[in-house]
A = this chain, B = another copy of it.
C-alpha cells in the first residue's frame, strides 16, 4: 500500500469510524458469541500473497464486530468508562504517523517535552500542589503511564528502593532480602486488585485494612494495623489510598491517612484511576483534599477525560525517587544533554523502555474541549447518575447501596443475592444494556456506571425501564 492508496483508504476509514460511532446505538452492546467463535471464521495461517483490502474491510463487519463489546455504546453501563473522543483519535493518528519512540529526550525531544508540559497543564486543572509540577526547575513532575496498575507498581518499586537504601545506609550489614522480608504495604479492602498484584510483583506483603461502613479506609484502622506490625518487628513503608474505588466509588479518608503516612515516613500513593477526572470541577475538588500528604498521585484520563486509551497520568513530588529505582545507562541510550537539569529521560520513570507520543492526545483534547468543555462532560455524567439514582429510589422493590458521588450507582433488588444474580444474568443476556456486578461485604450488588460520551437522559430512562421489566419477571418467577 503506497501513500496514494493510503489517502484513499484512510479517508474511507475515517468515514467508517464516523459511521460506526454514529450508528453504535443500533448494535447490541454485548456480543452474542461463544468462546472460540472466531478461529473457525478465519484461515489457519497468514496468506503468502497479499489479500485484497476490500476483503479485509468486509471481514470487519463479518468477523470482528459480532464479537465486540461496544464500550462506546450509550447503553454500556459496565466497569468504568473508557475515553473516546474525536480530537483524541485525530491526535492518535498523528502519533502513529510520527511513530517516534520517546525513551530518552534525544530520541524525540518534542515527545518528552510536550508530555512534561501537558502533565503540568493537567496538574493545574486539578489544582495539584505545586510540588507535583515540573515547571522550569521543580523536583516533581508528571509522566504518562500505560495504566493505573503500572503507576501503582512504579510507586511501590520507588518506595521499596527508597526504604531499602535508607535502612542499609543506617545498617550496612542488612541484606535486601532481610529488609524485604519485613516490609509491609497497606491498602483498603476496597482497593483494586492491581494493588495486591503490585505487591506480588514487588515481592512485598500487602496488608488489607478493613474499610468503614462507607467503604472508606480510616486513619484509626490504619494506625491499629501499623502498631501491630511494628510491634511484630515489621517495617511499614507504603500505603495506597484509593479515591473512587472500583466496586462502589468510595473514598479513603486522605485527611486522616495522609498525616499518619507522613509521620511514619511511609510512601503514600493515591490511586484515583476513575474519580481523578472529576477533580477538574471545583465542586468535586474537595474530594482530593489531602493530596498534599502524598508522594505520588495517579488517575486515568483514558477513563473519564476523553483521552483515548492509553493515558494514565502519574505525578511524583520527587522525580529522583522514581528514576533512582530504575536508572541504568547503556551507551546506545546516552546522549549529549542527559546531565542537564532540563532533561527528562522518561524511560527511567516507567516499566517499559519504548513509549508512544501519547501527550499529543492530551494536547488535542485539552485544546479542542477547553477546560469548560471537559467539566461539562463530567457534570453531565454525574447528573445522569443522580437521575438514575432517583429513578431507583422511586421503586420500593430496589435499594441504593452506597452514596452516589460521581458517575456510579450501586443498587440491588431488596432480597437475596441469588435474586440479584438472576436479575443481572437476565439483563446481560438480553444484550440491550450491559452491567457488571460487585460484592459489598456479603451483598451481591449491581453497578450502573455512566460511561459513554454520547449517553443522554433518554438512554438512562430506557435502561431503567428495561431493568424494571426484567425485575418484574424475576420477582414473579421467584413467587411461583
Return the contact of A6 from the options B3, B14, B45 (Cβ within 8 A): B14
Contacts of A203 in B (CB 8 A): 160, 176-177, 180, 202-203
B10 and A14: CB pair below 8 A?
Answer: yes
- Take A6-B14, A136-B39, A367-B47 as given contacts and tell me if A68 and B107 are in contact as well, using a CB distance cutoff of 8 Å: no
Contacts of A121 in B (CB 8 A): 45-46
Which of A110, A125, A175 is packed against the most chain B CB atoms within 10 Å? Answer: A110
Contacts of A97 in B (CB 8 A): 16-17, 20-21, 84, 89
CB distance from A322 to the nearest CB of B (A): 13
CA distance A93 to B10 in the complex (A): 9
Task: Judge whether A286 is part of the interface by a CB distance below 8 angstroms.
Answer: no
User: A181-209 vs B: 1/0 string, CB under 8 Å?
Assistant: 10000000000111011001111000000
Contacts of A9 in B (CB 8 A): 86, 90
A364 and B56: CB pair below 8 A?
Answer: yes
A367: nearest chain-B partner, CB-CB:
B51
> Restricting to A120-144, which residues have a CB under 8 Å from any CB of B?
120-122, 124-125, 136
A331: nearest chain-B partner, CB-CB:
B439
A108 and B69: CB pair below 8 A?
Answer: yes
Task: Judge whether A383 is part of the interface by a CB distance below 8 angstroms.
Answer: no
B68 and A108: CB pair below 8 A?
Answer: yes
User: A101-113 vs B: 1/0 string, CB under 8 Å?
Assistant: 1000111111101
CA distance A60 to B94 in the complex (A): 10
Q: Which of A29-37, A217-225, A256-264 contacts B (4 or more CB under 8 A)?
A: A29-37
B94 and A16: CB pair below 8 A?
Answer: yes
Task: Judge whether A210 is part of the interface by a CB distance below 8 angstroms.
Answer: no
Task: Judge whether A247 is part of the interface by a CB distance below 8 angstroms.
Answer: yes
Contacts of A49 in B (CB 8 A): 370, 372
Contacts of A473 in B (CB 8 A): none
B93 and A51: CB pair below 8 A?
Answer: no
A46 and B332: CB pair below 8 A?
Answer: no
CA distance A28 to B364 in the complex (A): 25
Interface of A is mostly: helix
CA distance A373 to B117 in the complex (A): 41
B13 and A7: CB pair below 8 A?
Answer: no
Contacts of A370 in B (CB 8 A): 46-51
Task: Judge whether A462 is part of the interface by a CB distance below 8 angstroms.
Answer: no
Task: Judge whether A464 is part of the interface by a CB distance below 8 angstroms.
Answer: no
Q: Which of A165-173, A230-238, A336-344, A394-402 contacts B (4 or more CB under 8 A)?
A: A336-344
Q: Which of A290-298, A313-321, A351-359, A384-392 contacts B (4 or more CB under 8 A)?
A: A351-359
CB distance from A203 to the nearest CB of B (A): 5
Q: How many copies does the complex hold?
A: 2
Task: Judge whether A1 is part of the interface by a CB distance below 8 angstroms.
Answer: yes
B109 and A37: CB pair below 8 A?
Answer: yes
CA distance A413 to B202 in the complex (A): 45
CB distance from A328 to the nearest CB of B (A): 4
Which of A69, A71, A147 is packed against the most chain B CB atoms within 10 Å? Answer: A69
A113 and B67: CB pair below 8 A?
Answer: yes
Which of A10, A178, A202 is packed against the most chain B CB atoms within 10 Å? Answer: A10
A4: nearest chain-B partner, CB-CB:
B18
A246 and B332: CB pair below 8 A?
Answer: yes
CB distance from A446 to the nearest CB of B (A): 11
CA distance A102 to B332 in the complex (A): 35
CA distance A333 to B108 in the complex (A): 38
B196 and A147: CB pair below 8 A?
Answer: no
- Take A14-B11, A22-B3, A108-B69 as given contacts and tell me if A330 and B193 are in contact as well, using a CB distance cutoff of 8 Å: yes
CA distance A64 to B144 in the complex (A): 18
Task: Judge whether A253 is part of the interface by a CB distance below 8 angstroms.
Answer: no
B99 and A39: CB pair below 8 A?
Answer: no
A7 and B18: CB pair below 8 A?
Answer: yes
Contacts of A403 in B (CB 8 A): none
Task: Judge whether A411 is part of the interface by a CB distance below 8 angstroms.
Answer: no
Which of A47, A55, A90 is packed against the most chain B CB atoms within 10 Å? Answer: A90
A149 and B352: CB pair below 8 A?
Answer: yes
B201 and A86: CB pair below 8 A?
Answer: no
CA distance A369 to B2 in the complex (A): 12
Return the contact of A108 from the options B10, B67, B337, B353 (Cβ within 8 A): B67
CA distance A354 to B274 in the complex (A): 13
CA distance A367 to B64 in the complex (A): 15
Could you give 9 example pairs across A and B, Cβ below 8 Å? A6-B17, A7-B18, A13-B93, A46-B124, A47-B371, A50-B370, A51-B370, A146-B354, A310-B356
| Chain A to chain B: the 4 pairs with minimum beta-carbon distance, closest first | A67-B110, A10-B14, A177-B181, A147-B352
